[in-house]
Structure 1
């Protein structure tokens, strides 16, 4: 009788350990150009554009039955002043769990332009981001992840 009880407990324990975790992944690959603002407000209390940045990014949402929601941002950005003169670039990785629990971050500054497929246009002419083809999305994703992997 005790043997049956022990076997039943072991079976329940192993079944709980072996249950598979379901993970849903949503991924957005984007290329865009946007203003970036200075750190200090002007006399009217507004932050003024300091220049613009060209961005390649991969935003990945992972929802897991065990660990909840994880958001990962992989970003490459080239910074330009208002006159269109290149300043620097950043390669950045950030990870969040849940809605606000910051988990991990890595960033490196570079001094050569790194983005691809982003339009050279002044921020004064806003327009919707270019819709990328599947081949362009794949190219941008591979490019961004290659630069992110070099952070380690």
Structure 2
């Protein structure tokens, strides 16, 4: 089943392999930049949300995700897509995450705020968002 899925995705150019890990990562990031360009060129809040819904990069391990995110974030910073200094936030397990205005984020844990009376909207696993401001 997995091989059939990979074969189908490969035929649609959704799965490709390079000469090695570094080459594959470089090609993945180049494809990601290209896929984002129409949304970026539109420059509207709606385009940002369309991009978040339509463009997604997946990796097989958390270590690969961390590497891809670090390079993608550096590319976005160089292109002027991230504003202001990074703010560092502590994550469960002792890790930290750096965020700035313009960053894209994906929620990885449900937060049922409405049930607790902490707001009117629940934040659910898989939701993606765009940071527009960072408060004190």
TM-score, length basis structure 1: 0.21
Bigger relative contact order, structure 1 or 2 (CA pairs below 8 A, ≥6 apart): 1
TM-score, length basis structure 2: 0.23
Q: Which has the higher helix share?
A: 2
Q: Which has the higher strand share?
A: 1
